[in-house]
Structure formats: structure tokens, C-alpha cells
Amino acid sequence: MQFFLEVLIGGLLSGVMYALVALGFVLIYKASGVFNFAQGAMVYLAALSVVGCMEKGAPLWLAILLAFVIMTLFGIATEKFVLRKLVNQPPIALFMATIGLAFFIEGLAPMLFGSEPRALDLGIVDEPIPAILDAWGIVISKFDLVAAGVAALLVTTLALFFQYTRIGRALRAVADDHQAALSIGIPLQHIWAIVWGIAGFVALVAGLMWGARNGVQFALTFTALKALPVLIIGGFTSVPGAIVGGLIIGASEKLAEIYLPPVMQSLFGGNFGGIEGWFPYVLALFFLLIRPEGLFGEKHIDRV
């Protein structure tokens, strides 16, 4: 039982890390109805900016601040040079533009800050919390707990922002209908610059967490792939969905990794390792069959 709990909690906490990345996707999708292929690259760029600035001698807080500035400028530039030209174009055109953007960042970031893998130390140790270990005998990493706290804070703030603020409403309005939004005087340029700025900020948070955990390296761009099943399960348009999806993926993949191989072995024989790697995608596929809009996603509304 103790072991089960440990696996479960460990899974949930790692799921939070996926949710952090998924959030960035949700933001862009909500505001422009487009799947931002470049989100993973943005995470990489953000993490690399932080370590890059630190290598040049900046303290951690300043490096984070600088990275934030870089991500914001990047957001504004994306709006100005890419999105503005694509108003009223079909979503697929925007989607392809983000693919191009991803390649652009993947080339630009190492040019600016170097491409060798580096460690990022946030000053939070990745070791069990003694109190919990003593009381229940469960290993819970302090780092994971901090990450979970950060994610929870981020999700709450964003969800409230989208639901209740003027800009938040305008963002959702733009996602529904560009033209109508334009007609009532919502300036698309500002809205897009804002949302890419926020997505850049979320990428920065994700980059910090993932970078501190796995090191800052090109593989960070692939975190986006882990976010995909999270999005499919949680729904592309829901901020809370990102976190719930993340938790489901995190917990289920860890549990599957531990408990599935013996079952599979007795059924089919042979060796079943690395279930963790593909399990989320199978789960996502399953969800696509029974609930394509995800748990919290918006249903497509059609009038007949």
C-alpha cells in the first residue's frame, strides 16, 4: 500500500510537470484557435535564456527577469511578423506558421546561448522531505512539491484571468470569431501580443522546472510531445483541463509502468519494460474515440 501511494503521488507530481507545458498550448489555442507547434521550442528558448544569462554572470533572479523580457519580446515579435499577416486565414495556415516558428527558435536559441547541455540550479533540492519520510515512509521530492505548488498557482491565476477579466473575455472572444471581435473594436494585435507574451511566461516557468530537473538541453523541445496526450485528455481549450489531464497522465503512466508488466507477462509472455513511454499515447487514443473534445474541452457547436 505504501509503495502504491508512493508511485501514485510520484506520478501525480510528475503529471504536474506535463501540465505546465500543456498550459502554454491551451493559452494559444484559446486565443487564436491554433495548435502552437512551437511551444516546446519556446520552453527550450526560455530555459536556455536563463542559463545563458547566468553564464554571463547574472544572478538567478536577474537571469529569470531577463529571460522573461526575452520571451515577452519574442511574443510581440511573433505577433508583428507572423500572425498579423495571417488574420482571417484558415487555422491550418497559422498552424504551419507555428511549425516554421519552431524550427526558427530551435536554430536561434543555440546560436544565442550555445547548444551544449547545462545544469540549471534553482536552489531547490530534489530529495525526499524528511518529515513525510519519517511519518509515512513515503518518498516525496521537495522539488516536485514546489513544482506542483507553482503549477497550481499558475493554473488558478490563468483560469480566473480568462473567466473574469476584460482581457480574458476578449481573448476567448477572439478565439471564437476573429472578425466579430474586430468588428466590436477588439484590437487583435494587442490581444495576440498579450497571449503570446503570457504563453512565453508559461514556457519560462516550464523551462525552469524541466531545466532544473533534466538539464537544459535540446531534448526540452520534446516536452511538447508529452503535453499532447495531456491536451487530448484535458481538452485543448481548458486551463483546469490541462492540470487534470496532466495528473491523469502522470499517475496512470507511473502506475502502468509498475503494475502492468507482470499482468502482460502472464498473458503474453516475454518482457514488458518501458510502458511509461507509450502508455499516455494509447490512453489519449482511447479518449479520442470516446470523447474527442477532452474532459473539459469546448464542444464544437453546430447549428442545424
Partner 1 sequence: MTAATAPTEAAPAAEPYLTVNNIEVIYDHVILVLKGVSLDVPKGRIVALLGANGAGKTTTLKAISNLLRAERGDVTKGSVEFRGRRVDQLSPNELVRRGVIQVMEGRHCFAHLTLEENLLTGAYTRSISRGELKQSLEKVYHYFPRLKTRRGSQAGYTSGGEQQMCVIGRALMARPEMILLDEPSMGLAPQIVEEIFEIVKGLNGQENVSFLLAEQNTMMALRYADFGYILENGRVVMEGDAEGLRTNEDVKEFYLGISSAGRKSFKDIKHYRRRKRWLS
Residues that bind partner 1 in the complex, under the rule CB under 8 A: 87-88, 166, 169-170, 172-173, 175-187, 237, 298, 301, 303
CA distances from 195 to 52, 113, 140, 171, 241 (A): 25, 25, 34, 8, 18
Q: Report, in Å, the least distance between residue 187 CB and partner 1.
A: 4
Output 143 or 162, the one with its CB closest to partner 1.
Answer: 162
Cα gap 287→142, rounded to integer Å: 32
Q: Report, in Å, the least distance between residue 26 CB and partner 1.
A: 14
Output 189 or 265, the one with its CB closest to partner 1.
Answer: 189
Output 156 or 165, the one with its CB closest to partner 1.
Answer: 165
The DSSP call for residue 220 is G
CA distances from 90 to 14, 178, 198, 274 (A): 36, 11, 23, 39
Q: What angle do CA 84, 192, 30 make, to 5 degrees?
A: 120
Output 169 or 213, the one with its CB closest to partner 1.
Answer: 169
Q: Report, in Å, the least distance between residue 33 CB and partner 1.
A: 11
Output 213 or 291, the one with its CB closest to partner 1.
Answer: 291
> Cell triple for residue 79?
505577433
Output 186 or 256, the one with its CB closest to partner 1.
Answer: 186
Q: Do residues 203 and 50 lie in contact, with contact meaning Cβ atoms separated by under 8 Å?
A: no
Cβ atoms within 10 Å, residue 29: 23
Q: Report, in Å, the least distance between residue 228 CB and partner 1.
A: 22
Output 56 or 190, the one with its CB closest to partner 1.
Answer: 190
Q: Report, in Å, the least distance between residue 238 CB and partner 1.
A: 11
Angle, nearest 10°, between helix axes 39-55 and 2-32? Answer: 100
Cα gap 63→83, rounded to integer Å: 28
Nearest to 70 by CA among 39, 93, 46, 35: 46
What count of Cα atoms within 13 Å lies in the side-chain half-sphere of residue 40? 20
Q: Do residues 245 and 234 lie in contact, with contact meaning Cβ atoms separated by under 8 Å?
A: yes
Output 200 or 294, the one with its CB closest to partner 1.
Answer: 294
Q: Report, in Å, the least distance between residue 82 CB and partner 1.
A: 16
Q: In the chain, what is the greatest distance between 2 CA atoms, to the nearest angstrom?
A: 64
Q: Report, in Å, the least distance between residue 27 CB and partner 1.
A: 16
> Cell triple for residue 11?
506520478
Q: Locate cell 491536451: which residue?
A: 231
Q: Report, in Å, the least distance between residue 241 CB and partner 1.
A: 14
